[in-house]
Amino acid sequence: MAPASFHHEKVCVMDASGRLGSTLVERLLERGYIVHAAVQGHVDDLKLNGVATEREKKLKVFHADPFDYQSITDALKGCSGLFYAFEPPQDHPAYDEYMVEVEVRAAHNVVEACARTETIDKVVFTSSATAVLWRDNNSQSLASDLDERHWSDVNFCRKFKLWHALSKTVAEKTAWALAMDRDINMVSINGGLLMEPHPSITHPYLKGAAEMYECGTFVTVDLQFLVDAHICVFEDVSSYGRYLCFNHAITNHEDAIHLARLLTPYSPSPPPSYEEANMIIQQRLSNKKLNKVMVDFESELLLED
């Protein structure tokens, strides 16, 4: 059961057709929320597993195009919260230099629609750890950890064609600027590489994977942990700002080989040198801020089970 203050609360999940969005819808229904599930494609595109019939009564599915302002406001009507995760349009699925403009425009439209929806109290904006970790390492001490206060350098991202990082960084900065200007209560979840379903080697997050590994900033997140983090920061009235979200860091050769086998199952891995096999990378991304708020939330989940 959700805490009493959240029971029967109406929230919107957009885009609900992605793996994160559809799982969020299922978990929110389990916790007693009334859910507006907004999908870009056809409303039949929403695939939910194991949603009981009585819970389906609390679910309403909307077609909401992030480039069609009216469709966004229709989906938000009467909702007190929004969980927003960008899904690339079906006619433009690849992350390239043009995706930046697409994702930024979508973020602007969605946050502006929230500002004009009187019932919205809180927005959880899904961003990425790639909006935190990319910069020229020569410009700062490698000894310093990276956390929510850090932003990826947009010029660095553009120079090295890190389109996923550039899109996430500029879209999140756009959302924050508008949220502050329009006095919207917003928090962001900056997730690591999502491991479910298994990512393919072509996932745009993985551009620069070797450099992330060497710098101690290659982090991954399980779907359930990512979903719980979104709900946790929404329900926690004291949550604020950005939250780096991951539950595993790739910091040794064994981890790196395991991930490589998931990404390229049919490619043989070369045997490591002695130095590679025994090298431990210093983790440089900190998720302490999220871990603090997750402690109470996870305790409550244990009590429910």
SS (H, E, C) 166-218: HHHHHHHHHHHHHHHHCCCCEEEEEECEECCCCCCCCCHHHCCHHHHHHHCCC
In a domain, 241, yes or no: yes
Beta-strand runs (E) in the chain: 10-14, 34-39, 59-63, 81-84, 122-128, 186-191, 193-194, 219-221, 241-245, 248-249
- Looking at the structure of the chain, the number of domains it has is 1
Question: What distance in Å separates the CA atoms of residue 220 and residue 285, rounded to the nearest whole number?
Answer: 11
* pLDDT computed for residue 56 by the predictor: 75
Weakly modelled stretches of the chain, pLDDT under 70 = 1-7, 42-55, 138-143, 267-278, 301-305
* pLDDT computed for residue 120 by the predictor: 98
* pLDDT computed for residue 206 by the predictor: 95
Question: What distance in Å separates the CA atoms of residue 37 and residue 92, rounded to the nearest whole number?
Answer: 22
CB 38 within 8 A of CB 84: no
* pLDDT computed for residue 4 by the predictor: 45
In a domain, 272, yes or no: no
* pLDDT computed for residue 286 by the predictor: 94
* pLDDT computed for residue 298 by the predictor: 79
In a domain, 79, yes or no: yes
In a domain, 49, yes or no: yes
Question: What distance in Å separates the CA atoms of residue 256 and residue 12, rounded to the nearest whole number?
Answer: 37
* pLDDT computed for residue 104 by the predictor: 97
φ and ψ at 301, to 5 degrees? -65, -40
In a domain, 206, yes or no: no
The residue segments making up the domain with residue 240 are 10-193+222-246
In a domain, 267, yes or no: no
The separation between the first and the last C-alpha atoms of the chain, rounded to the nearest angstrom, is 10
In a domain, 92, yes or no: yes
> Does the reported pTM lie above 0.75?
yes
Question: What distance in Å separates the CA atoms of residue 124 and residue 212, rounded to the nearest whole number?
Answer: 26
* The one catalytic residue among 47, 122, 159, 168: 168
Give me 238's structure tokens: 């004291």
Planar angle of CA 193, 172, 194, nearest 5 degrees: 10
* pLDDT computed for residue 1 by the predictor: 41
Look up the CATH number of the domain holding residue 59. 3.40.50.720
Task: Say whether 122 is catalytic.
Answer: no
In a domain, 109, yes or no: yes
